[in-house]
Chains A and B, each alone.
Chain A
């Protein structure tokens, strides 16, 4: 029997493969409309106002009961800081990147940390640490393959992922993009860790077999993520790796990156991927839409199924939908606690 833990202790124990008092319930993105409104946030200010951001993200911990507090609210920060066009979305739609570069040399990142959204992220991490010392403060960041995809355009990434396996010249081109992405990743990672992040949550959405060739992921994606992950570890911080879609063909590669935990989508079979991942904790697998329209029975059933399948943390398979409701989020956390009390 493990003594009662704080949320932060619980998350870090899971990430370090230690025993937990109950399974942690964690989240990736947290731009939930109900909480934005409840905390007095206004669109689009909560993207550039650290206090508004933390007040909203904090409700995921204090009201819903999740074990981490995650900032920022979308995968657009890096791209904006590099000068790409970003459409700010709506209160219920996350911002999205609308342009890309033609070649790696065009990407300038000397003033990356001066960007207003990057600054907001760093300020929000510091503020969240002060306000919620018992929660795992987590920075939501874009991982190298996805960042390279944002830089060159997702369709170009997808096509280059096969061409680079066929032709050396294309491989060189791909490596140049990844190299730039990694430089940017490291600058941002260091800043987040120095600001006090307890963990970094990396989404490598575009490394999915739904978009790029699995062989490409093994040849380019895994070494890139590992390089970034080793850098993060060298600064004393754990990191989580999320990849969208049916990741079954690449879970072995994901496990080889050194990530402290792997986050997978609802498209995979949890029992199958936990077997492949071996010692590396796997989280995720819950259908995000359950938080918008799921019944109590459906939510509880999905939570139990993922945990019975060997998940070490309970998490939605993708981001938390903006239209999630607080009662459903609470049902999720309760289901995790009940399962833990019964089976841990």
Chain B
């Protein structure tokens, strides 16, 4: 941004302020002014969006999403290269021990605030994507902790996965039903407490009993869950954190039979 002409930089700063104040008229007006300068507003907007999501600036991320809509930026590009990119950036920082959970949460709020505005435009576009891979996700029965699970969901969504969120305190049978109903590719179970870890092998046992264990990949995670535990209970993986879960699943789906092959 430093390379931009002073006039443009000034307008961007004014737009940041208008976005923070949620002054919609001013955002519209400043967007017009920026367009008239002839700068590459698409590149600037995407960069701003990813940065603002990473910083957890909810109002500003929303304001710049309005800019993207006003200038007619491709909504999928706005989502993937702007909003979701910001979530991935903070996810990577967290993975490297350079960020904390609250930073992921405010980034997640910022991303979703922009996504809410984009949603009507995303629906209008057809034939834009192939069917997304579905992940059934939830916190196991007896555990009401949502945060870790929601972060995994956010990172998976940011990476293009379709998440069926069962919430928290989810009975084992619900995981099975949802996996069947949605022809899921993966089940992601989370728990924060040692006291409820035993629910994870219960779900895996039920998958086997139902004869669908090989149709889904099983990810288990949460503070007390280790790689050894995951392998002991028959899960496929226990990613270190939310960002690693998305990275692992992205690479693993390539080697996994496609949905039609598994579920037919």
Interface string of B220-259 (1 = CB under 8 A from A): 0001100000000000000000000000000000000000
For window 153-172 of A, CB contacts with B under 8 Å fall at 154-155, 158-159, 161-163
Task: Select one of B105, B143, B197, B223 contacting A244, CB under 8 A.
Answer: B223
Is the CB–CB distance between A210 and B197 below 8 Å?
Answer: no
Q: How far is the CB of B138 from chain A (nearest CB, A)?
A: 15
Is the CB–CB distance between B223 and A158 below 8 Å?
Answer: no
Interface string of B98-127 (1 = CB under 8 A from A): 001111011001000000000000000000
Task: Select one of B143, B147, B194 contacting A155, CB under 8 A.
Answer: B147
Contact A93 to B142, CB < 8 A, known contacts A159-B109, A244-B223, A288-B194: yes
Cα separation A244 to B141 with both chains bound (whole Å): 21
- The tally of CB-CB contacts under 8 A between chains A and B is 71
Q: How far is the CB of B140 from chain A (nearest CB, A)?
A: 10
24 contacts between A and B (CB under 8 A): A87-B144, A87-B169, A90-B142, A93-B141, A93-B195, A94-B195, A96-B142, A96-B169, A154-B145, A154-B147, A158-B101, A158-B102, A158-B105, A159-B105, A159-B106, A162-B100, A162-B102, A211-B147, A212-B100, A213-B102, A213-B103, A214-B100, A267-B223, A321-B195
Instruction: Say whether A13 faces chain B, with CB atoms less than 8 Å apart.
Output: no
Query: Chain A: interface secondary structure?
Result: loop
Instruction: Say whether A131 faces chain B, with CB atoms less than 8 Å apart.
Output: no
B142: chain A residues at CB < 8 Å are: 89-90, 93, 96
B196: chain A residues at CB < 8 Å are: 93
Instruction: Say whether A323 faces chain B, with CB atoms less than 8 Å apart.
Output: yes
Task: Select one of A97, A159, A321 contacting B194, CB under 8 A.
Answer: A321
- List residues of chain B with CB under 8 Å of any chain A CB: 56, 100-103, 105-106, 109, 141-147, 150, 169, 193-198, 223-224
B101: chain A residues at CB < 8 Å are: 158, 210-212
Is the CB–CB distance between B144 and A155 below 8 Å?
Answer: no
Cα separation A319 to B146 with both chains bound (whole Å): 20
Cα separation A155 to B112 with both chains bound (whole Å): 15
Cα separation A154 to B142 with both chains bound (whole Å): 17
Query: Chain B: interface secondary structure?
Result: loop
In addition to A93-B195, A159-B105, 14 A-B residue pairs with Cβ atoms within 8 Å of each other are A89-B142, A92-B195, A93-B142, A93-B196, A96-B144, A155-B150, A159-B109, A161-B102, A211-B102, A244-B223, A318-B224, A321-B195, A323-B195, A323-B198
Instruction: Say whether A245 faces chain B, with CB atoms less than 8 Å apart.
Output: yes
B109: chain A residues at CB < 8 Å are: 159
Cα separation A159 to B109 with both chains bound (whole Å): 9
B147: chain A residues at CB < 8 Å are: 154-155, 158, 211
Q: How far is the CB of A92 from chain B (nearest CB, A)?
A: 7
